[in-house]
Amino acid sequence: MLSAELKAFYMVARLGSITQAAKKLALSQPTVTTQIRHLESQYGVELFYRGGRRLSLSDDGARLLPMVKMLLQQEADIEFFLRNTGQVQGSLRIAATAPYYILDLVKTFRERLPQVEVSVEIGNSQQVLEALEEYRVDVAASSQLLEDPRLIRRVLGMDPLVLAVHRNHPLAAFDHIPLSALNGHTLLMRETGSTTRQLTEHMLKSAGVSFGPLLEIGSRESIREAVLRNIGISIIARQEVPHDPQLKVLTLENAPLLPEYLYCLKERKNARLPAAFLGVAQEMAPIEG
């Protein structure tokens, strides 16, 4: 189908990689490659210059790209309209960096509109905001502060960064430590694109802390499991630390608060389901002051 081939073309053009495009589209690499080649052979065009690992757009590909982007935008608008048509049913798609704030909103939202289908996908800040900008979700919760005139933003909450260690770790003897106490210890961090990682790196660099070998782990659940095995220590939002007798939570000197924001595209904020969800978020917003 031409629609699938154009989506493959658009994603490869945007990312410059068959591998990354396949991940975004939840397809295999051979499938994406076949779609691109079929599009080129069917119409006798060369859409990409192939050299090395990265693909670059040909002149024809560069001219086609804005047309495909407009077409996919129209398709997303049609799909969004259909999901928000009617008075009872519909579906709301949500992306979030963590479940803690968003699930309370989902619970209240579902109590008011029980027949609406709700889906929640979890990723890092970069991933969930990309999903919103690409119209793959309707609202996104992220700890990243994004100043974008296309978006509206609501504050969901603020959570302090703390240090999670195994109860047998040497630092577990303390309840509160300065950042300098982290010198030389193995630090567990999320992948690049995580706001928690960005805050942690900035905080430690500002304090002149030189931590030990960095161990990058791509999910907060895996980081917690690594701490439980005493593989290393991790700076993490307080709500993300599970209640477990094997863990010890330490407060950190001058640790920043990690905010959580809810984002929605301005052009869609008055649609029935996003508007209802934003209304719930407004009601449950933390009291300032």
CB 247 within 8 A of CB 154: no
pLDDT tens profile 219-245: 778 888 999 999 999 998 888 887 889
Distance CA 246, CA 168 (A): 8
CB 239 within 8 A of CB 100: yes
pLDDT tens profile 28-40: 888 999 999 889 8
Buried b (16+ CB within 10 A) or exposed e, 153-183: ebebbebebbbbbbeebeebeeeebebebbe
* pLDDT value of position 1: 55
* pLDDT value of position 178: 93
Q: What's at 170, amino acid-wise?
A: P
How far, in Å, are 29, 38, 71, 80, 133 from residue 267 at the CA level? 34, 35, 17, 12, 12
* pLDDT value of position 52: 65
What's the whole-number average pLDDT of the chain? 87
* Parts of the chain belonging to CATH 3.40.190.290: 159-258
* pLDDT value of position 191: 80
* Parts of the chain belonging to CATH 1.10.10.10: 2-65
What one-character-per-residue DSSP string does 98-125 give? -HHHHHHHHHHHHHHSTTSEEEEEE--H
CA nearest 73: which of 267, 264, 277, 263?
Answer: 267
pLDDT tens profile 77-121: 787 777 766 555 688 999 998 888 899 999 999 999 888 899 999
CATH class assigned to 91-156+259-283: alpha beta
What percent of the chain has a predicted confidence (pLDDT) above 90? Answer: 33
Tokens of 72: 């996919």
pLDDT tens profile 65-87: 999 988 888 888 787 777 766 55
Alpha-carbon radius of gyration of the chain: 22
Q: 249: which strand partners?
A: 164
What percent of the chain has a predicted confidence (pLDDT) above 70? Answer: 95
pLDDT tens profile 265-289: 998 888 888 999 999 999 887 755 4
CATH class assigned to 159-258: alpha beta
- CATH topology classification for 2-65: Arc Repressor Mutant, subunit A (1.10.10)
pLDDT tens profile 147-173: 999 999 999 988 889 999 999 999 999
* pLDDT value of position 289: 43
pLDDT tens profile 182-221: 888 888 988 877 788 888 888 888 888 877 677 888 777 8
